[in-house]
Each structure stands twice: as C-alpha cells, then as structure tokens.
Amino acid sequence: MMTLAPQQGTHRDDQEDRATTPRTDCVADFAGGLTFEVPDRGESGPAHLLLVRRDGDQEVRLPLTPAGDGRLRAALPSSVDVPEGFWDVHLQTAEGEPRRLAPGVNDLRSLVDRAPAASSERIVVRIPYATKHGNLTIRSWERSPHAEAGALQIGDGRLEVTARLYGTELTSDAYAELTDQNGVLPAVRTDVTAHDDPGEVRFTVAYGDLRPGHWDLWLRPGGENGPKVRIARLLDDVVDKHPVFVYPKSRAESAHGPVEGEPYYTARNDLSVTVVAAR
C-alpha cells in the first residue's frame, strides 16, 4: 500500500490547493453502492479513485472511465467489501501521487427512508460526506445480521424500542440484552415482543432496572446460543446521529435510589442509554 504523507504549507498554499482540488459528485443507490464522477482534466495514463481506510492499511482501487461531457466515472457496487469505518477518497492518475478529493454534489435521496427486504442477509451502508477540512470521505457500515432501530418512545421511567431484524430470524427464545460499556456490571435481559410485520420486534428498557452507567442495546434473536446483534440506526442519509437525534431524560425509582435515563446514538450510530443518579 502506498503511504500518504501529510502535506504542509502556508495558509495561502492551502487555499490554492483547495481551489484546484477536483470536486467529486456522488450518487448513492438503494442497495448501498456509490457512483462517483470527477472532471476529466485530460491527464495521460489510467486514472483511479483510491479509497484509503483511515487508521488502517486497507485500500480499494476503482478505475475511472470516460462518462462523456468531460467527466470520468467510477462505480463502487455494494458487493465490493468495504469494511466498517472511515474511507478517505483520493484521485490517482498514472503513477502520480494520490490527491485528496473535495465533495461536489451528493445525491443521497435513495437512502432516505430506506427499507431493505426483510430477507436481506447483509446490510451495506455507504454515506459520502465533507470532513471539517473540506475533503471527501465515505462512512461505511457492513453488518450481518443487523437490527435497525426504529421508533423510540419515551415513557415514565422507561424507553420503548422498536427494531427491525435482518439476516437472522426471531425464535421463541429471543430476548433483548443491555450490557455495561465498561464490562463491569452484569448484563440485564428484557423480553421482546414480535410484531405482525415480519422481522419487527419491540421491547421496553426500564431505567429503574439499571445501575448508573452507559448501557449498549442488543438483540439475542436465537437466545443464548444465537447471534448477538447490536441495535443501530443506519438506514438513512445521516452520517452522525449523535448530535441530530436528541431525546429527553426520564426519571425512575430504583433499588439504588432515583435515576434518570436517556437514550443516545454512539459515534458508530449504535443505540445506547445512559443512566445517572438523580438528585
């Protein structure tokens, strides 16, 4: 893999670099694939988009081909393995050094209210977005099985969760499980209820049953001997759910005194709850 060294320069140089950085338009499809288009600058030799996984040594190389109207196009099908994480997008022509790309128009309409078939065994999500430095990055998720968080209802001292299960089936031994993020406190189980809609389940988190801390939400559709499926919200066009989906706190009485519980989405868009001692 080619090492991408950081470039340093003056503020004016940085401004000039940004002004000449090619802008890339992205179109997302329903299955989780992406199509990229960049301006054709007439440079000699083959051209590729290079996706480099941040904090890793993996890369995906996509050939660019003429698309007409002075554009080059590359496709990233959902079938291509792009492991979960952040992938920075570069342009490489011939044997030249890779150059970071800037985002152009991101068409993410197919991701809004996306609802794969209940029989889908593998959920693929790729969302292009602009970093704080104005570069193009892809946030990728690949999960099998997967539990997609739906409506969250805040009750009196409780949280009612609806989730849709993909890639595995619900059995009579199914339950939901809450685990302490620090791995210190014992896991807490709660019953699940199947819905008439295939693959949809519901369960209630009673804050009074939890000690103060951060708790991750899981489904155990096959009971103790089946898969442990993290509940997350992935099937939309929002890269980072944490600052967007904000929920109210709810007070409950527990064996350890009054507590307040609050659901939230983590940096990976997984669903968790935090419980604190109330005054």
Q: Mean pLDDT of all residues in the chain?
A: 90
CA end-to-end span of the chain: 55
Contact 141, 234 (CB under 8 A): yes
Output the pLDDT for position 75: 98
Classify residue 196 by its DSSP letter. S
Residue located via tokens 């904090």: 55
Residue 11 has pLDDT above 90, yes or no: no
Summarize pLDDT for 92-118 with one digit per residue, the tens: 988 788 999 999 999 999 999 899 988
Structure tokens at 76: 């990233």
Classify residue 130 by its DSSP letter. E
> Cα(37)–Cα(157) distance, rounded to whole angstroms?
50
Residue located via tokens 């001997």: 225
Alpha carbon 36 to its chain's center: 20
Output the pLDDT for position 55: 84
Summarize pLDDT for 76-88 with one digit per residue, the tens: 999 999 999 999 9
Question: For 18, how many CA atoms within 13 A lie in the half-sphere containing its CB?
Answer: 13
Classified as helix, coil or strand, 76 is: strand
Contact 244, 223 (CB under 8 A): no
Residue 7 has pLDDT above 60, yes or no: no
Summarize pLDDT for 38-83 with one digit per residue, the tens: 998 877 778 999 999 998 789 999 999 999 889 999 999 999 999 9
Q: 7 burial class (0-12, 13-18, 19+ CB within 10 angstroms)?
A: exposed
Structure tokens at 7: 């470039």
Structure tokens at 18: 């940004």
The residue-averaged pLDDT of 204-212 equals 97
Output the pLDDT for position 16: 38
- In this predicted structure, which of 21-25, 105-109, 217-221 has the lowest mean pLDDT? 21-25
> Cα(205)–Cα(57) distance, rounded to whole angstroms?
40
- In this predicted structure, which of 5-9, 148-152, 195-199, 270-274 has the lowest mean pLDDT? 5-9
> Cα(79)–Cα(278) distance, rounded to whole angstroms?
48
- In this predicted structure, which of 15-19, 161-165, 252-256, 275-279 has the lowest mean pLDDT? 15-19
How big is the CA angle at 264 (ends 259 and 109), to the nearest 5 degrees? 160
The radius of gyration of the chain from alpha carbons, rounded to an integer in Å, stands at 22
Provide the H-helix boundaries in 1-72: 11-20
Q: 224 burial class (0-12, 13-18, 19+ CB within 10 angstroms)?
A: exposed
